[in-house]
């Protein structure tokens, strides 16, 4: 299914479906040019998806299924899919979904909807999956326009699963203005936390420079995350000892010049880290962690308040906490977005899985009040929260 453009639309757009790593590598220049033209997010970039594919675990269960629309030699649209087999069901999902906070297609301004719809039909006709589950869609996601069309090959319908995205945005011109508007208790907790840490030594908040080696701080992040995950009974292969995934993804942020790593140090030791990126005039928090040995001082909260103030001082319009409705994010948020999901079946097995999922949701809804659900379709996947 992969290789040179394999099908032409009436308006001479060429369609291609990429399934091999070699072809994925070959289209890098065209994909990156489209990504820059479309002002795409990191999660839809070629480098991000390639880094994920090189380092992902369980490759034997996964396949690439990336749809392309070419206008001559110019790449115009990318449908960045992959398939995974879970509980015997083949699911079509966003490539790099496990580590991507916003899912979407990538399209040039003025993209050709008919060509993209034809590509979607080609992907459905080619098979290789039983159901499609596309999640973490922002309200303005381009993909909504394509996959919910009445004549779509597989019409994807809104699913009951959703996730919360919290953000900080306001009229402040200085970080100190934002800080002064926090509650008295919040300001006291921040000062108390710094004071506790200062009892052990000098406390310093700083942004790492591009020249500093990333490996030591990434090792520290992974070790701290493993400690936290073990304590709470969770797991994430992003932070497994020796895993190349986190360095590969962060390295791609650095290559694109959007990486911002903030550290909080006490007596020269790193006690909290936030791996962030800047795009579209906003600071996005990808991974944040802290040393539980300093939990009494709330170093994660201190670091968070420091980088929010730093972002405002730099003139950024927003701090975006990305996916996850954790209370520590909600506490500072001034805005929120609901990230929706779409679900559709291609085969009888997929339809049965959807029916089972819907029945399970109905039972759960009767047992407890409605609330956002981020786990994947019950018969298609075990819950896989990101734990970032």
Helix (DSSP H) and strand (DSSP E) numbers for the chain: 12, 15
What is the residue extent of each domain of the chain? Answer: 7-163+340-367, 170-316
Mind listing the pLDDT tens digit of every residue in the chain (388 residues)?
A: 444 445 667 678 999 999 999 999 999 999 999 999 999 999 999 999 999 999 998 889 999 999 999 999 999 999 999 999 998 999 999 999 999 999 999 999 999 999 999 999 999 999 899 999 999 999 999 999 888 775 667 889 999 999 999 999 999 999 999 999 999 999 999 999 999 999 999 999 999 999 999 999 999 999 999 988 888 788 888 999 999 999 999 999 999 999 999 999 999 999 999 999 999 999 999 999 999 889 899 999 999 999 999 999 999 999 999 999 899 999 999 999 999 999 999 999 999 998 888 787 777 777 765 555 445 563 433 334 445 6
The 3-state DSSP class for residue 198 equals helix
Which is it for strands 74-86 and 89-94: parallel, antiparallel or unpaired? antiparallel
- The DSSP annotation for 55-122 comes to H-S-GGGEEEEEEEEEETTEEEEEEEEEEEEETTEEEEEETTGGG-SS---EE-TT--HHHHHHHHHH
Under a CB-based contact definition with an 8 Å cutoff, are residues 377 and 160 in contact? no
To the nearest 10°, the Cα dihedral for 305, 311, 315, 321?
A: -90
Whole-prediction pTM: 0.91
- Reading phi first (left if > 0) and then psi (alpha if -120 to 50, else beta), residue 159 is in beta
Q: Same CATH fold, 170-316 and 7-163+340-367?
A: yes
Q: How far apart are CA 147 and CA 154, in angstroms?
A: 8
Superfamily for domain range 7-163+340-367: Gcn5-related N-acetyltransferase (GNAT) (3.40.630.30)
Is 170-316 a domain of CATH 3.40.630.30? yes
């Amino acid at each position: 299914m992969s290789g040179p453009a394999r099908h032409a639309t009436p308006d001479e757009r060429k369609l291609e479906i990429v399934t091999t790593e070699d072809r994925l590598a070959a289209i890098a220049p065209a994909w990156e040019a489209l990504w820059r033209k479309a002002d795409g997010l990191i999660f839809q970039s070629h480098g991000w998806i390639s880094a994920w594919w090189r380092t992902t675990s369980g490759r034997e269960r996964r396949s690439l299924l990336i749809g392309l629309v070419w206008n001559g030699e110019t790449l115009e649209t990318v449908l960045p899919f992959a398939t995974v087999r879970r509980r015997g069901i083949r699911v079509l999902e966003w490539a790099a979904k496990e580590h991507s906070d916003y899912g979407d297609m990538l399209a040039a301004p003025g993209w050709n909807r008919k060509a993209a719809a034809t590509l979607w039909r080609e992907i459905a006709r080619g098979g290789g999956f039983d159901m499609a589950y596309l999640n973490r869609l922002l309200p303005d996601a381009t993909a909504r326009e394509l996959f919910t069309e009445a004549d779509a090959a597989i019409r994807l319908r809104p699913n009951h699963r959703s996730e919360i995205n919290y953000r900080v945005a306001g009229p402040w011109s200085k970080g100190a203005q934002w800080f002064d508007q926090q509650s008295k208790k919040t300001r006291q907790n921040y000062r108390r936390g710094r004071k506790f840490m200062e009892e052990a030594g000098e406390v310093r908040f700083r942004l790492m420079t591009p020249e500093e080696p990333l490996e030591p701080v990434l090792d520290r992040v992974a070790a701290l995350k493993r400690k936290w995950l073990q304590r709470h009974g969770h797991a994430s292969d992003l932070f497994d000892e020796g895993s190349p995934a986190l360095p590969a993804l962060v390295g791609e942020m650095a290559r694109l010049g959007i990486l911002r790593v903030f550290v909080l140090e006490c007596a020269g030791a790193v006690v909290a880290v936030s791996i962030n990126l800047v795009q579209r005039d906003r600071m996005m928090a990808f991974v944040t962690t802290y040393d539980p040995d300093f939990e009494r001082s709330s170093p994660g909260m201190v670091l968070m308040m420091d980088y929010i103030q730093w972002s405002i001082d730099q003139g950024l319009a927003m701090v975006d906490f990305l996916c996850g409705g954790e209370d520590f994010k909600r506490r500072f948020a001034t805005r929120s977005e609901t990230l929706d999901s779409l679900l559709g079946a291609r085969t009888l097995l997929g339809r049965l899985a959807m029916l089972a999922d819907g029945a399970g949701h109905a039972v759960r809804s009767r047992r407890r009040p409605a609330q956002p659900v981020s786990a994947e379709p019950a018969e298609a996947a075990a819950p896989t929260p990101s734990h970032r």
